[in-house]
């Protein structure tokens, strides 16, 4: 069970900006075994951190250019002042690096749209550090809301208050509120139709220390955010009110007490409402440091080429709301939020019964047929044909020219190269030892199917294995180990019985040993050495 080494290897990461927050990124990426370089202009801070993590082979540099010209650095994490984000993200993407940038993505919508286009054109990951979407409690809260536990959402408010740290580059709205805006947009799953904001400048006349922002959403949900770094005590609290239940997420409370649910009800007697209070209960949530989860997510996105949970598009939505809040605060007039520009439309066919979730990219010329479902974060290449009752995703990558027949499910962890054929009702597993009553999502193994592979009807591909280029898996076969390029596999467990050409013709070669043969159809030459067949490109193909 080896799979593609690029899927399992930990990518090398550089941190750009190792100050107040960046040092936390340094700690977590080092703990994940990914930290290779720290870049900071503060020589004293750089020397201290480099010495602290020197046993891991971490290097310290003072210029971004040194980071970007190192071919071993696959991803960069940027934790610098917001005004520098756009330039640093752009330079990193142009250098071919995957990018994690702390919030906000940048300071203007046009810059954000440009960065998203650049990342897409370069094939790079672009992830924004909206930390709360990696907090287990927030994820649990969203799960409960999506399951209908709260009924119809009515009101949400968020407090993020403390004494210091005072900024000179940005006001408290841009420093504190992106986290809360991101969460509220995600919980409501819509953009606000009206924003009112006001702020107070008490320490510096040009920088707001305290802001209050009110939102009204098209569904009728209302929300407000109160942020301040001029407050006597630290408070980080999110309150969600629905017509069935209410919740309080207190991030300053001990972990077991962070999320409390209250099934309060309103009772009417003679047209007079009265509250029927419930003492509430604390919800058990597995403890994990959100920043570590966020760093791990970035590394996984690099390895598997996945769309981040907080990608550039999510960052752009938050940025559009931030800009509207700033305008509302400056003009003291309500603002409507401009919907961020959508990516250009692509030319593909979707049957009216097919379901395509948000944040899905489908290449031109592809066809999605009856009752198929493409889940969030998935990428399907050009010219693919997705048959009936096919499920793809979440976060699955499929290459160009693939043909997926009816009743096939391709779940997270499976990656298809170009021109792969999946026969009717074939199966990909993602866990070795599944049980219906035990969640093993943490145990998913990756499966890589390389270019040109054919998988016959009703075959089963056990997870954690790699199917080589142009290999051929017979109908009903059960693949339990890696498959070499051009191999012909049949049986349960699958065994190699010969070799196939790129055209799909059986080659006149022994199962192993030495020899050469030509494809009966194309005349292409193939050479067998031991257990490996290579295609000799002597036909100009």
The continuous run of DSSP H or E covering 111 comes out as: helix 109-122
Exposed e or buried b per residue across 359-378, where buried means at least 16 C-beta atoms within 10 angstroms of its C-beta? bbebbebbbbbeebbbbebb
Per-residue pLDDT at 537: 66
Would you say 377 and 304 are in contact if contact means Cβ atoms under 8 Å apart? no
Would you say 470 and 328 are in contact if contact means Cβ atoms under 8 Å apart? no
Read out DSSP for 310-323?
TBHHHHHHHHHHHH
Q: How far apart are CA 78 and CA 22, in angstroms?
A: 8
Tally of CA atoms within 13 A in the half-sphere of 8 that contains its CB: 13
Q: How far apart are CA 489 and CA 508, in angstroms?
A: 15
Which residues make Cβ contacts (< 8 Å) with residue 93, sequence separation at least 6? 99, 115, 118, 119, 122, 124, 126
Would you say 92 and 99 are in contact if contact means Cβ atoms under 8 Å apart? yes
Per-residue pLDDT at 341: 58
At the topology level, CATH places domain 129-344 in Dihydrodipicolinate Reductase; domain 2 (3.30.360)
Query: Helix 109-122 and helix 85-94: axis angle, to 10°?
Result: 10
Edge-to-edge strand list for the sheet holding 487-490: 349-350, 367-368, 385-386, 403-404, 421-422, 454-455, 472-473, 487-490, 495-499
- The SS3 assignment for 242 reads strand
Per-residue pLDDT at 227: 95
Per-residue pLDDT at 490: 97
Per-residue pLDDT at 456: 97
Q: How far apart are CA 16 and CA 349, in angstroms?
A: 43
Query: Helix 109-122 and helix 312-331: axis angle, to 10°?
Result: 170
Of 18, 104, 8, which is closest to residue 302 (Cα–Cα)?
8
Q: How far apart are CA 326 and CA 399, in angstroms?
A: 42
The continuous run of DSSP H or E covering 153 comes out as: strand 153-163
- Residue by residue, pLDDT tens for the chain (541 residues) are 344 545 568 899 999 999 989 999 999 999 999 999 999 999 999 999 999 998 778 999 999 999 999 999 999 999 999 899 999 999 999 999 999 999 999 988 888 988 998 888 888 999 999 999 999 999 999 999 999 999 999 999 999 999 977 777 788 899 899 999 999 999 999 999 999 999 998 888 888 999 999 999 999 999 999 999 999 999 999 999 998 999 999 999 999 999 999 987 777 777 788 777 778 899 999 999 999 999 999 999 999 899 999 999 999 999 999 999 999 999 999 998 866 755 554 578 888 788 888 778 898 889 999 999 999 889 999 999 999 999 998 999 999 999 999 999 999 889 999 999 999 999 999 888 888 887 767 767 889 999 999 999 999 999 999 999 999 999 999 999 999 999 999 999 999 999 999 999 999 999 999 999 999 888 899 999 999 999 886 443 3
Rg for the chain, CA atoms, rounded:
27
Domain extents in the chain: 5-128, 129-344
User: Residue 139: how many CB atoms within 10 A of its CB?
Assistant: 16
pTM: predicted TM-score of the whole model, two decimal places = 0.63
Would you say 187 and 140 are in contact if contact means Cβ atoms under 8 Å apart? no
- CATH of 5-128 given 3.40.50.720, 2.40.180.10, 3.40.718.10, 2.20.28.120: 3.40.50.720
Which residues make Cβ contacts (< 8 Å) with residue 66, sequence separation at least 6? 37, 39
5-128 against 129-344: fold identical: no
What values do phi and psi take at 98, rounded to 5?
A: -75, 145
């Amino acid at each position: 069970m080896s799979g593609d080494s690029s899927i399992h290897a930990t990518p090398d990461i550089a941190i750009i900006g190792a100050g107040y927050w960046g040092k936390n990124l340094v700690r977590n990426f080092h703990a994940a075994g990914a930290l290779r370089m720290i870049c900071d202009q503060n020589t004293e801070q750089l020397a201290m951190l480099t010495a602290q993590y020197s046993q891991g082979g971490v290097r310290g540099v003072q210029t971004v250019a040194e980071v970007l010209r190192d071919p071993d650095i696959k991803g960069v994490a940027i934790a610098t002042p917001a005004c520098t984000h756009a330039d640093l993200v752009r330079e990193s993407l142009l250098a071919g690096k995957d990018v994690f940038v702390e919030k906000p993505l940048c300071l203007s919508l046009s810059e954000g749209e440009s960065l998203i286009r650049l990342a897409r054109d370069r094939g790079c990951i672009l992830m924004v550090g909206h930390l709360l979407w990696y907090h287990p409690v927030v994820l649990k809260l969203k799960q409960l809301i999506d399951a209908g536990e709260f009924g119809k959402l009515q009101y949400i408010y968020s407090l993020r208050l403390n004494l210091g740290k005072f900024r000179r580059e940005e006001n408290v709205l841009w420093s504190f509120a992106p986290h809360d805006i991101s969460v509220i947009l995600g919980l409501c799953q819509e953009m606000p139709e009206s924003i009112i904001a006001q702020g107070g400048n008490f320490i510096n006349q040009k920088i707001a220390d305290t802001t209050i922002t009110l939102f009204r959403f098209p569904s009728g949900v209302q929300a407000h955010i109160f942020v301040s770094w001029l407050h006597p005590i630290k408070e980080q609290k999110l309150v969600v009110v629905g017509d069935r239940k209410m919740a309080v997420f207190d991030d300053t409370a001990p972990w077991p007490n962070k999320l409390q649910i209250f099934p309060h009800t309103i009772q009417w007697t003679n047209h007079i409402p009265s509250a029927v209070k419930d003492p509430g209960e604390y919800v058990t949530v597995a403890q994990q440091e959100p920043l570590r989860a966020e760093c791990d997510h970035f590394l996984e996105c690099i390895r598997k080429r996945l769309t981040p949970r907080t990608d550039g598009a999510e960052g752009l939505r938050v940025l559009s709301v931030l800009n509207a809040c700033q305008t509302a605060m400056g003009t003291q007039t309500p603002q409507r939020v401009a919907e961020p520009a959508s990516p250009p439309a692509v030319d593909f066919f979707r049957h009216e019964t097919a379901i395509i979730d948000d944040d899905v990219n489908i290449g031109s010329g592809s066809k999605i047929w009856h009752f198929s479902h493409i889940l969030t974060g998935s990428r399907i290449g050009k010219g693919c044909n997705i048959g009936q009752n096919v499920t793809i995703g979440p976060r699955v990558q499929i290459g160009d020219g693939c043909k997926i027949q009816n009743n096939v499910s391709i779940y997270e962890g499976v990656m298809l190269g170009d021109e792969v054929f999946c026969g009717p009702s074939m199966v990909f597993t993602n866990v070795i030892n599944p049980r219906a009553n035990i969640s093993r999502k943490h145990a998913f193994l990756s499966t890589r199917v390389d270019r040109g592979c054919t998988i016959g009807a009703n075959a089963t591909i056990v997870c954690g294995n790699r199917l080589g280029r142009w290999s051929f898996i017979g109908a009903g076969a059960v693949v339990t180990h890696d498959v070499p390029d051009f191999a012909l596999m049949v049986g349960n467990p699958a065994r190699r019985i010969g070799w196939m050409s790129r055209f799909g013709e059986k080659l006149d070669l022994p199962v192993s040993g030495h020899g050469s043969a030509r494809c009966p159809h194309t005349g292409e030459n193939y050479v067998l050495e031991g257990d490996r067949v290579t295609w000799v490109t002597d036909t100009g193909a």
